């Protein structure tokens, strides 16, 4: 189901130039954010995965528990999908240079590339996503920034075969 929805979205994106949008940091955002500031400690988020061209939507809540030890940040993500699925994934980020991290997670192919910039945090990775008994390889380009009220916003462009097929938006608040 997910694969068909994404494939239909990808084919339509070819025809329409893509309705999924590249995330951008709003001018009003506080962009002074580091990866450990965003994820160390306990947080809770509400998000949604959307394929605009097909109207597919899948909402979720996520509990985040991040632990920083020297140059390693471990973030346990407990997902509670609106359709009843429960999923746990664990990121392991390693600081490779000032403002640079690499990351691994159970479903990530290779390593994620993380950069802390003056415009927030960028996170690029490819993952094998399992849904409804199917595995679909998707690429994610995330940007994270801090909103004026202190919430962390994570917006991602999702690609399949290099074509934009969807977006994810997640609002994270400290517990």
The C-alpha atoms of residue 156 and residue 15 are separated, in whole angstroms, by: 22
**46-104 pLDDT tens trace:** 999 999 999 999 999 999 999 999 999 999 999 999 999 999 999 999 999 999 999 99
Longest dimension (CA), the chain: 48
**103-142 pLDDT tens trace:** 999 999 999 999 999 889 999 999 999 877 899 999 999 9
Residue 27's contacts (CB-CB under 8 Å, 6 or more residues apart) are none
Q: Which of 164, 155, 159 is nearest to 45 (CA)?
A: 155
The C-alpha atoms of residue 167 and residue 117 are separated, in whole angstroms, by: 21
Enclosing domain of residue 115 = 2-174
pLDDT of residue 14: 39
Q: Are 137 and 114 in contact (CB under 8 A)?
A: no
For the chain, the domain total comes to 1
The C-alpha atoms of residue 76 and residue 105 are separated, in whole angstroms, by: 10
DSSP assignments along the chain, one per residue:
-HHHHHHHHHHHHHHHT-SS------TTSB----HHHHHSEEEEEEEEEEETTTTEEEEEEEEEEEEEETTEEEEEEEEEETTS-EEEEEEEEEEEETTEEEEE-TTEEEEEEEEEETTEEEEEEEEEEEETTEEEEEEEEEEEEE-TTS-EEEEEEEEETTEEEEEEEEEEEE-
Phi-psi region of 14 (alpha: psi -120 to 50; beta: other; left: phi over 0): alpha
What pTM did the predictor assign? Answer: 0.84
> Up-side HSE of residue 122: CA atoms within 13 Å toward CB?
12
Specify the CATH number for the domain of residue 32.
2.40.128.20
**4-42 pLDDT tens trace:** 555 444 434 433 445 555 565 555 555 679 999 999 999
């Amino acid at each position: 189901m997910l694969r068909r929805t994404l494939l239909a979205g990808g084919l339509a994106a070819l025809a329409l130039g893509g309705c999924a949008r590249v995330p951008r940091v709003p001018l009003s955002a506080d962009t002074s954010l580091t990866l450990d500031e965003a994820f160390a400690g306990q947080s809770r988020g509400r998000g949604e995965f959307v394929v605009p061209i097909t109207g597919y939507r899948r909402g979720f809540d996520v509990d985040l528990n991040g632990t920083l030890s020297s140059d390693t940040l471990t973030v346990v993500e407990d997902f509670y999908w609106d359709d009843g699925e429960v999923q746990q994934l664990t990121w392991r980020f390693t600081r490779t240079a000032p403002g640079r991290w690499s990351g691994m997670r159970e479903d990530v192919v290779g390593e994620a590339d993380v950069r802390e910039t003056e415009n927030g945090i960028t996170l690029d990775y490819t993952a094998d996503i399992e849904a409804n008994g199917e595995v679909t390889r998707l690429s994610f380009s995330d940007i994270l920034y801090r909103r004026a009220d202190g919430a962390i916003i994570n917006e991602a462009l999702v690609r399949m075969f290099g074509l934009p097929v969807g977006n994810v938006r997640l609002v994270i608040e400290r517990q």
